Amino acid sequence: MPEIRTRFAPSPTGYLHVGGARTALFNYLYARAKKGKFILRIEDTDQVRSTEASYHQVLDSLRWLGYEWDEGPEVGGAHGPYRQSERLHLYKEHADRLINEKKAYPCFCSTEELDRKKKQREAMGLPYVYDGKCRSLSETEVSEKKAQGLEHTIRFRSSAKEILVDDMVQGSVRFDTALIGDFIIVKSDGFASYNYAVVIDDHLMDITHVIRGVGHLSNTPRQIMVYDAFGWKPPQWAHVSEIVGSDHKKLSKRHGATPITAFRDLGYTARTFNNYMALLGWSSPEGHEYMALEELKSQFDVARCSKSPSMFDVFDLEKAADVDLAQVTIAELEKYLFPKSKLNWLSNQHIRNTSETQYIEEILPFVHSVGVVPEAETNVQNERLVSILLSLRVYLDTLGQIKEYLPDFYAPFAPRAEDFRDSEYFQSENFVSLAEAFLRQIGQMTQGEKLTHDAVKTGIQAVGKEINIKGKPLFMGLRLATTGRLTGLELPVYLELLGRERVVERVTKMVALKKEA
RNA sequence: GUCCCCUUCGUCUAGAGGUUAGGACUCGGGAUUUUCAUUCCCGCAACAGGGGUUCGAUUCCCCUAGGGGACGCCA
């Protein structure tokens, strides 16, 4: 059996979003699952819209996601070059061959003329098909027109027949080529058009499986005609369902066509994203949902892909009305995410299940950007930072959320009386005696002794005995007195991480606040 | 308009001609946690509608409705 070769062929006309990334993922996974090769090809024949910046963005995104390509730009390979703009000679050669064999012909019809005819057909309620005006131009007519300097395109000469697309996902789908007509394979600027270039490239690159969005299904008969004209064998087709936004429409700027890098910047890991995207339209035969890339690489099969579209449902569109989610800042974008999405749940699972070292390594850049931890302490050697980060990880849906928690441990403590006006524990008459008793307990500890988990526990018990309260009032009162908050980590852990000095400072400030009030 | 595709809990999905239609996220309730969270248990919630075929259809066929996609010198 020949080696399986898949490819991802983005056009560098924008950034990579979830739709494109998922197509890349499927191609990558299929190649890996079948021990084949994954090829990256850049389709930059649209001279107007392709940009170098976009090219770099796309590669950057692909690298972040971890889809190392076996052949492609910046890696090379035996089937290069891998940018269509560098393969022009190949398209030319093959187009000449088709013209010589009378399977293609030059067309001098102007855009205006074509537009007019198209509108006429539309007005009659008919699908637009090229009328074949230039189909039987004689050679002398052709050279005359060329001599006049008229621009021309090259059209493929199609014949009416039925074409059966045998698709691994869609099944057998029939198309009538009479509805397609003679389509353009070379544009007047001399560049190959998509439906033609893709065939030349896929054939020359020995692509065995074309996995792409179902939007391409109706292009497939055109491509099959080109394969037939050359006498080549078409690849296996696999047209996977499109990903739609919460509005049930194809991902658009407003509805989730957010650059994949935005999710990276928010603090979702590539592991999370790959796992989540794999679940959009595919399911593991074992029914697993939480999966590492390794499992995906061995289990994925395009044959298990669903035909129905899946919704990328992570944004609250009610909130995001009139907002272009592809343009807003990361901080802004975060506000429009559903906090309880499956994506967040998966992300949390991945954060808490990775190794401690990997987690620390990955979160450090985010810690850095919060800006409250002193530069000198922002490293893996800092025990306090590391303990804090490890205690907090169960709470994080994204690495970026660390910014919610860090200031509590590092920023100056400045409680304000109005924040506690409605707190029953702060208003309680026991509050001061409770706080002071705890302060005395800490004071009894020898100089320099660390406020450990256990020391806090025994301290709390002693306070309870002394003041003669127990239960919730004891704990909540002390929590408020020592942290200025009613929620957070388990109290002993919390105080240990805060450290003796900070705890003393907090209790002192809280007591002062209470006495003032 | 023409052609193609789709429709299982709110969402991601499993499923097979006979199942109490399963799981996950969310949501609700409870237990544990002397807080929130975590964890655990329980629960709510779906086969778009109508016709066939069949002993039996959510599963196969047809129609309707709704949705999506394609119909470019874009890819």
Nucleotide nearest to A473 (CA to C1'): B34
pLDDT over threshold 70, residue A40: yes
A73-98 pLDDT per residue, tens: 999 999 979 999 999 999 999 999 99
Residue A105 predicted with pLDDT over 90 = yes
The answer to whether the CB of A259 falls within 8 A of the CB of A15 is yes
Å between A395 CA and B3 C1'? 51
Which residue is nearest to the C1' sugar atom of B38, using CA?
Answer: A394
Q: What is the pLDDT, as a whole number, of residue A253?
A: 60
Active-site residue list of A: 253
Q: How far is the CA of A285 from the C1' of B51 (A)?
A: 35
Reduced 3-state DSSP string for A279-300? CCCCCCCCCCCCCCHHHHHHHC
Query: Cβ of A126 < 7 Å from strand B?
Result: yes
User: Is the CB of A486 within 7 Å of strand B?
Assistant: yes
Task: With beta carbons less than 8 A apart as the criterion, state whether A434 and A511 touch.
Answer: no
Q: How large is the C-alpha radius of gyration of chain A?
A: 32
- Which tens digit of pLDDT belongs to each residue from A166-204? 999 999 998 988 888 899 999 998 889 999 999 999 999
Confidence of residue A460 (pLDDT cuts 50, 70, 90): confident
DSSP label at residue A193: P
What integer pLDDT is reported at residue A160 of this predicted model? 82
3-class DSSP state for residue A442? helix
When pLDDT is cut at 50, 70 and 90, the band that residue A126 belongs to is confident
pLDDT at A481: 87
- pLDDT above 70 for A362: yes
Distance of CA A441 to the CA centre of its chain: 52
Cβ of A471 near strand B (under 7 Å)? The reply is yes
Q: What is the 3-state secondary structure of A50-64?
A: CCHHHHHHHHHHHHH
pLDDT tens across A270-329, in order? 999 999 999 999 999 999 999 999 999 999 999 999 999 999 999 888 888 778 887 888
Alpha helices in A149-245 (DSSP H): 194-204, 220-230
Select from A506, A18, A23, A16 the least CA-distant residue to A8: A23
Which tokens sit at A461? 């018990």
As for the ipTM of the complex, it is 0.93
Task: Work out if A281's Cβ lies within 7 angstroms of strand B.
Answer: yes
Query: Which of A60-69, A308-317, A369-378 is most confident?
Result: A60-69
Res A490: pLDDT: 87
Report CA-CA distances (Å) from A367 to A99, A378, A396, A401, A410.
62, 7, 13, 10, 11
> Residue A221 above 80 pLDDT?
yes
Examine the pLDDT at A33 and tell me if it is beyond 90. yes
Q: Distance between CA A507 and CA A221 in Å, rounded?
A: 75
Residue nearest to nucleotide B68 (CA to C1'): A249
Q: At what angle do helices A472-483 and A500-516 cross, to 10 degrees?
A: 100
Find residue A499's DSSP bridge partners.
none
The encoded tokens of residue A150 equal: 């008229």
Mean local confidence (pLDDT), A44-62: 91
Asked if residues A322 and A306 have their Cβ atoms less than 8 Å apart, the reply is no
The H helix count followed by the E strand count for chain A is 21, 11
Could you give the CA distance from residue A481 to residue A243 in angstroms, rounded to a whole number? 51
A280 touches strand B (CB under 7 A): yes
CB atoms closer than 10 angstroms to residue A326: 19
Determine the nucleotide nearest to A128 by Cα–C1' distance.
Answer: B71
Strand B proximal residues, A:396-455, Cβ < 7 Å = none
Can you tell me the distance from the alpha carbon of A477 to that of A511, in angstroms, rounded to the nearest whole number?
Answer: 12
What pLDDT is attached to residue A251?
80
DSSP A27-79: HHHHHHHTT-EEEE-B----TTT--HHHHHHHHHHHHHHT---SBBTTTB-TT
A231: left (phi over 0), alpha (psi -120 to 50) or beta: left
Give chain A's mean pLDDT. 90
Amino acid of residue A168: M
Residue nearest B8, CA–C1′ metric: A308
Task: Answer whether any strand B atom is within 7 A of the Cβ of A276.
Answer: no
Q: Å between A313 CA and B44 C1'? A: 22
A472 touches strand B (CB under 7 A): yes
Residue A179 contacts strand B, CB under 7 A? yes
**Token pair for A57:** 């963005």
Starting from the edge strand earliest in sequence, which strands make up the sheet with A37-40, in order? A37-40, A5-8, A209-213, A236-240, A162-167, A171-176
Q: What is the mean pLDDT of residues A320-340?
A: 85
A117 Cβ neighbours under 8 A, 6+ residues apart: A128, A131
Cα A238 from Cα A31, distance rounded (Å): 13
